[in-house]
Amino acid sequence: MKQLIKVLLGFNAISLIYLICLKPKQFLRACSSAFTASRSMTPKLNAIPEVSLGHILGDRRPTIRLIVRRYENGILPSEHTMALLSILVAEAPSEVLEIGTYMGHTTRQMAENLETGIIHTVDLPQSFSVERDPE
């Protein structure tokens, strides 16, 4: 039963390839390895505390300007943008460093809500390619 659970929870693309190639030992080993690898991250993830937006803001009720956009791959979802902008306006930092600008939607919304602040952005160049520029 324990082995079956490991197989089901560890099933991934690599194990599927072994299954298709009719290599049952490698299939089971791949599932077990994937299961073990995923379980080793659980204690680390559980160590990250969760803090509610209400706890961060306390009695402050910041007024934000939020442009709700249809979701596109790569942009911050509206509910996450709302939380980010609420914290930004409540804290009113003089400077912000944004890492991973991507399309610039969040940068623009931060700039519109932080009128006197300076926003520094860092992102990979558009010409970057994993195939061309491996680690």
Q: Residue 127: inside a domain, yes or no? A: no
Q: Residue 72: inside a domain, yes or no? A: yes
Give the rounded percent of residues in the chain with a pLDDT score beyond 90: 35
For residue 21, which phi and psi values (nearest 5 degrees)? -80, 5
Q: Are residues 57 and 11 in the same domain?
A: no
pLDDT tens, position by position, 55-103: 999 999 999 999 888 888 878 888 999 999 999 999 999 999 998 877 8
Domain limits for position 71: 53-122
27 contacts: CB under 8 Å, gap ≥ 6: 15, 18, 19
Give the C-alpha separation, 27 to 31, whole Å. 6
Average pLDDT over residues 5-20: 66
107 pLDDT more than 80: yes
| Number of domains within the chain | 2
Q: Are residues 111 and 57 in the same domain?
A: yes
51 pLDDT more than 70: yes
Give the C-alpha separation, 4 to 2, whole Å. 5
Q: What is the dihedral of CA 58, 65, 80, 130, to 10 degrees?
A: -140
Q: Are residues 98 and 64 in the same domain?
A: yes
Predicted local distance difference test score (pLDDT) of residue 83: 94
pTM of the predicted structure, to 2 decimals: 0.60
